[in-house]
């Protein structure tokens, strides 16, 4: 079985302490002396606090929306970094003559900055539930050796926080306003460029735009109807010209036949009968070609009636026959002239109709091409309109934001936005917060005793001598029959009493040092 090591007995502990009491007393006295020295010489640091409350903006958010993007905590951290900047700390050191003691004259500037940053502390107040915490206020504290200076520095820091918050908010609002204004100018230029491109496109393809499709289709229908009508008129004119051109030689022959000459009355009468037959044949032919209201038909019919109405005499007079022949001949010549003029007019009319049909066909082809290109124009126009609409919506959105930003800037300039207000200004501290004398007293008392006890424990562990018979029996494995106590000589006895007296004196000194340390610590304020 494993042998269990026995515990150290209390009498053995007290015996070891009594035997090596000098280590405990000396270390305790040294600790008390150092503690008294530190309690007397350590600088007293005073702390002043001020509480700053965050007040919401004075204008309801449904009327004017704040454009300060940074959160409260991040803004306070930013201001804290600005306060702890080298430039601001140098200004504070110079303003309140910090670190101006003789023993601090040779201190480096970086060391002063480091100490001053450690003495400035900013803490947030949290409100809300466990899911979301929001800072509704914060406190500023500063530590220093002079109570009045500490109070002034703390109030100065609070004022600096308030001023910097106003500057930061106004700077962010103005910066946002300037940014939106620049973006608005850029977007306005793009919008004007898109409007110009849309205008140029409409002007370039005017007549072929999608909204003009119905008009173009109606124009094409109208042109096609005009072309058909002109083509019909052209066919009729060409037909009439062809008939007239065929009739013209026959009419010329009749005119030559009916010219007056020196024929006998019998021959003239025979010629009249033949001429009447020719006129009737001509009338029949004209009636087959034209209507009854045609001028040539009416004229030929009148000639036939006139010749039929002439009386037949046994002995016709030669002058009357010659006159009738002249009338008929002149009438035929007149008809031939009119017919020739009509043919020329029909030729001119045909040429004009042909040109008109060509022009109308070209126009119809032009509008047909416009109609064919309408889907392409519609797609291109939709793309331009889509870009224009997107830019316009962006421009309107920026314009609304710009107006909101202008209101927000005016609100910040009039200090109607979120503000910091001092709830509790810093007061003159009465008691120092450092050093903590109670903790210092306990630490040195426990440390002195612990150090001495530790030395005794180490020395006992390092000592290999047998301390009682049980250790000897265990080491030799033999029982101890008898022990002899230590025999002191008279000289040793005097040394023993002298050691005891010195120990007693040192114990009294330790008690006095403990009482003095306790008096110094308890007397000091701020415990």
pLDDT in tens, 279-292: 777 777 777 766 77
Residue 418 confidence (pLDDT) above 50: yes
Residue 464 or 320, more confident? 464
Residue 45 DSSP one-character state: B
Q: Which two tokens stand for residue 148?
A: 């009045």
pLDDT-based confidence at residue 471 (cuts at 50, 70, 90): low
Q: Nearest-5° angle of CA 56, CA 59, CA 63?
A: 125
Residue 189 confidence (pLDDT) above 70: yes
Question: What pLDDT score does 301 carry?
Answer: 77
Question: What pLDDT score does 126 carry?
Answer: 62
Residue 69 or 265, more confident? 69
Question: What pLDDT score does 319 carry?
Answer: 45
Residue 418 DSSP one-character state: S
Residue 3 confidence (pLDDT) above 50: no
Question: What pLDDT score does 466 carry?
Answer: 60
Beta carbons of 518 and 440 less than 8 angstroms apart: no
Q: Which two tokens stand for residue 146?
A: 């002079």
Spans of all domains in the chain: 1-42+435-527, 235-373
Question: What pLDDT score does 404 carry?
Answer: 80
**Helices 147-204 and 72-83, packing angle to 10 deg:** 120
Beta carbons of 215 and 303 less than 8 angstroms apart: no
Tens of pLDDT, residues 328-368: 656 666 666 776 777 777 788 888 888 888 888 888 888 88
Residue 463 DSSP one-character state: -
Q: Which residue has the tokens 């889907």?
A: 375
Q: Which two tokens stand for residue 415?
A: 């200090």
Residue 130 confidence (pLDDT) above 50: no
Beta carbons of 164 and 375 less than 8 angstroms apart: no
pLDDT-based confidence at residue 314 (cuts at 50, 70, 90): very low
Question: What pLDDT score does 317 carry?
Answer: 47
pLDDT-based confidence at residue 263 (cuts at 50, 70, 90): very low
Distance of alpha carbon 67 from alpha carbon 158, whole angstroms: 24
Mean pLDDT score across all residues of the chain: 76
Residue 378 or 298, more confident? 378
Question: What pLDDT score does 504 carry?
Answer: 83
Residue 46 confidence (pLDDT) above 70: yes
Residue 271 confidence (pLDDT) above 60: no
443, 446, 452, 454: CA torsion to nearest 10: -100
């Amino acid at each position: 079985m494993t042998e269990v090591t026995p515990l150290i007995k209390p009498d053995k502990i007290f015996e070891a302490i009594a035997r090596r009491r000098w280590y405990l007393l000396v270390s305790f006295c040294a600790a008390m002396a150092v503690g008294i020295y530190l309690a007397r010489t350590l600088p007293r640091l005073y702390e002043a606090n001020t509480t700053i409350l965050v007040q919401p903006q004075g204008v309801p958010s449904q009327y004017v929306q704040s454009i300060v993007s940074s959160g409260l905590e991040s803004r306070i951290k930013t201001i804290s970094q600005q306060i702890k900047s080298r430039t601001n700390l140098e200004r504070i050191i110079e303003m309140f003559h910090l670190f101006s003691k003789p023993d601090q004259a040779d201190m480096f500037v970086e060391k002063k900055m480091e100490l001053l940053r450690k003495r400035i502390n900013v803490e947030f107040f949290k409100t809300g539930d466990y899911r979301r915490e929001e800072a509704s206020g914060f406190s500023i504290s500063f530590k220093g050796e002079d109570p009045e200076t500490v109070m002034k520095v703390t109030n100065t820091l609070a004022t600096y926080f308030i001023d910097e918050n106003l500057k930061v908010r106004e700077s962010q609002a103005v910066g946002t306003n300037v940014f939106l204004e620049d973006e608005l100018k850029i977007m306005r230029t793009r919008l004007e460029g898109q409007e110009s491109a849309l205008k140029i496109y409409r002007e370039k393809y005017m007549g072929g735009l999608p909204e003009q499709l119905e008009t173009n289709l109606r124009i094409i229908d109208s042109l096609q109807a005009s072309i058909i009508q002109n083509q019909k008129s052209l066919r009729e004119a060409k037909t009439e010209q062809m008939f007239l051109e065929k009739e013209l030689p026959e009419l010329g022959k009749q005119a030559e036949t009916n010219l007056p000459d020196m024929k006998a009355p019998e021959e003239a009468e025979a010629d009249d009968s033949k001429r009447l037959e020719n006129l009737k044949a001509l009338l029949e032919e004209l009636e087959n070609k034209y209507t009854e209201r045609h001028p040539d038909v009416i004229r030929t019919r009148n000639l036939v009636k006139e010749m039929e109405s002439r009386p037949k005499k046994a002995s016709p007079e030669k002058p009357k026959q010659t006159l009738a022949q002249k009338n008929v001949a002149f009438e035929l010549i007149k008809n031939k002239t009119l017919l020739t003029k009509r043919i020329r007019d029909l030729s001119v009319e045909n040429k004009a109709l042909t040109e008109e049909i060509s022009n109308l066909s070209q126009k119809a082809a032009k509008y047909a091409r416009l109609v064919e290109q309408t889907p392409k124009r519609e797609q291109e126009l939709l793309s331009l309109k889509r870009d224009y609409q997107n830019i316009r919506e962006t421009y309107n959105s920026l314009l609304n934001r710009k107006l909101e930003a202008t209101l927000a800037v005016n609100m910040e300039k009039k200090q109607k936005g979120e503000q910091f207000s001092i709830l509790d200004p810093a007061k003159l501290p009465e008691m120092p917060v450092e050093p903590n004398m109670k903790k210092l007293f306990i630490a040195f008392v426990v440390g002195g005793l612990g150090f001495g006890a530790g030395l005794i424990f180490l020395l006992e562990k390092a000592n290999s001598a047998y301390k009682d018979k049980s250790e000897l029996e265990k080491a030799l494995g033999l029982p101890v029959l008898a022990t002899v106590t230590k025999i002191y000589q008279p000289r040793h006895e005097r040394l023993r009493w002298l050691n005891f007296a010195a120990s007693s004196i040192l114990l009294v000194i330790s008690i006095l040092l403990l009482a003095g340390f306790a008096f110094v610590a308890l007397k000091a304020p701020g415990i």
